[in-house]
Amino acid sequence: MIPFFPLVFPLACIVFLLAFKKYMPNTPKFLAFAGTTLSLVAVFTVQGTESLKIFQDGVLPTPFALAIAVFIAFFATLAALAALRETKSPSFYFNILLSTAFALGAVLSNNFIMMLLFWEGLLISLYLFILPINAKTALKAFLINAAGDVVLLVGICLFYLQNGTLDFTFFAKTNTLLTSSGLWAFILMFTGAVAKAGAFPFHNWIEPAAMQMPASFTAMLPAAIEKLLAVFLMGKMFLIFFPILPATAKVFVCALGIITIAVAAINMLVFKDIKQLLAWNIVMQIGLLVLGMGVHIFDHLLHDTLFVLNHGIFKAALLACAFFTAGAFKLYFGSTDIEELKGTARHAPLMTFVLFICALGLSGLSFVDIFFMPSALVADTYAAMPILIIIPALAAFITMFTFAKVFFALLVKKSRAKAEGSHIYNTVVFLSFLPVLFFTFGFEFSLEPFLAPHFAGINLSWVSIFNILVLLLALALAVKVKLPSYKIKHNTYTITIEAITVFTKWLYKIDRFMDKLIDTWPSAIVKKISLFFSRAHRGNTPQYLLWAILGLLIFAALVSDWGIK
């Protein structure tokens, strides 16, 4: 069970927490931090135990999986640290450990059943996380994620049907394109995978959760871990299936991405709060990821893997870091509302700077990414269908626009009381910034030969210039144009709930009708007949004789076969 070795620590810590939480009030915090850090260490050691040859079915997690696992554990650790300042409730720490354990389990499994087990198990920890803060949001988050998981489950079953195995080592070998059940397996599994990260139509819970929960939660779960998991499974799907994916599948994926981006964009423009903005950024980013997957030309296993990794991890890191920053603002200034944060830049310059870099990354500034991913995305999109280039452009534009508004607010000259900082929290922000730095400026390191094949055939220059132009335009407009103020009344969740309500109302009516059919009506009919007979026998002797004579006649008729035959 070596691949599951990193799980031991969080799970052991959970046991200790449950056993000892009464005795030492600070135990949960300590245990959470210990559990997550140890799991991080453990992930690194998994690779090294190959020589021991005691792993599950002889299959080690792939480096791909391990990389994701590393980051999962990393962000969990950061969240545990951040939570030290943000909350006192032991259940929060319990949930951090539980989520870490399940997320690691999902990534380190070597077959789909185990993965699904851990994947769905996250539902419990997600629910328990949000429950103490807001029961309704917890329910919403649970239901939406569970729906996505059901889709994933059905997809996995179809996958089994198609391929006869549930092992991760499976790779599509045939050259015939996927049809019917195999195609459905792909589509359902893909949808289920990105549902976790907040793609349409599974996105409605992220905003309320982000607003109501402490930043460490949001940084850890929706921003980082769930996105990482989604990336993991998305990547897996593509890597397994790419050779045989028909065009319909790719069209589906692109469509999903585009709708997600659109929804995120619409909601982003009416933000009032940094956390709200960042929440919709989560959705926007998964939309971009999905679109990127859809248009990318998968032709070389290694760099495709790196491509996926980068997309996922970089964006996850950016979002996590941004959330931690927002959390810092909340901690120091008491709120994350734009109005209330006016003029705080001068009191928290480092935070503002970090947020600025994150904003650039999220907006997709070309060189703020080791692989020039945004450019690659734009280029690929253009290559796929030229008109589609509007989508990433628009996404970048809106992101930049909204972030610019934030910064203008933060930079406003306004005197404020100085705020108390926190060393631990600052450390957390700094640590989360490290991956961002790496991915941003890492191109300085000589990875060129490595990357060269990737960029063969792409003319980066016009794409980069186009990119910078879009961003500058956004920046400029942000100075003058005000944020729109339309109200969003309906969202997917409420519409679904209403539809279900109507649907169930009608089905319930059918059930009650059937009850009438089986019970009420027959009883009533029998009762009427019975009462009729009762009244026909009320002691009227001639009537009795009449019945007898009638009987005789019928008998005679029957005996003579009605006189016909």
Residues of this chain that interact with other proteins (CB under 8 A) are 113, 116-118, 120-121, 123-124, 131, 135, 139, 142-143, 146-147, 150-151, 153-154, 157-158, 160-161, 166, 181, 500-501, 503-508, 510-511, 514-515, 517-519, 526-527, 529-531, 533-534, 537, 539, 541, 543-545, 547-548, 550-552, 554-555, 558-561
User: To 10 degrees, the CA torsion angle through 17, 20, 26, 32?
Assistant: -20
SS3 content of the chain, % helix, strand, coil (to 5): 80, 0, 20
C-beta closer to other proteins: residue 17 or 306: 17
C-beta closer to other proteins: residue 140 or 296: 140
* CB neighbour list of residue 284: distance below 8 Å, 6 or more residues apart: 260, 261, 264, 265, 268, 362, 395, 398, 399
Minimum Å distance from CB 135 to other proteins? Answer: 5
Q: How far, in Å, are 465, 473, 511 from residue 479 at the CA level?
A: 22, 10, 60
Closest CA to 424 of 40, 73, 12, 77: 77
C-beta closer to other proteins: residue 477 or 536: 536
Contact 424, 81 (CB under 8 A): yes
Contact 83, 214 (CB under 8 A): yes
Minimum Å distance from CB 227 to other proteins? Answer: 21
C-beta closer to other proteins: residue 21 or 454: 21
Report the alpha-carbon distance of residue 329 to residue 345 in Å, rounded: 10
C-beta closer to other proteins: residue 148 or 312: 148
Minimum Å distance from CB 27 to other proteins? Answer: 20
C-beta closer to other proteins: residue 113 or 495: 113
Q: Is 386 helix (H, G, I), strand (E, B) or coil?
A: helix
Closest CA to 69 of 37, 42, 43: 43
C-beta closer to other proteins: residue 445 or 547: 547
Report the alpha-carbon distance of residue 36 to residue 106 in Å, rounded: 16
Q: How far, in Å, are 101, 139, 497 from residue 143 at the CA level?
A: 21, 6, 11
DSSP state of 536: T
Minimum Å distance from CB 213 to other proteins? Answer: 17
Minimum Å distance from CB 405 to other proteins? Answer: 37
Q: 430 is written with which tokens?
A: 């700094």
Report the alpha-carbon distance of residue 11 to residue 1 in Å, rounded: 14
Rg of the Cα atoms in the chain: 31
C-beta closer to other proteins: residue 101 or 223: 101
Minimum Å distance from CB 49 to other proteins? Answer: 24
Minimum Å distance from CB 247 to other proteins? Answer: 22
Minimum Å distance from CB 398 to other proteins? Answer: 33
C-beta closer to other proteins: residue 142 or 186: 142
Minimum Å distance from CB 127 to other proteins? Answer: 9
Write the DSSP string, 69-109: HHHHHHHHHHHHHHHHHH---HHHHHHHHHHHHHHHHHHH-
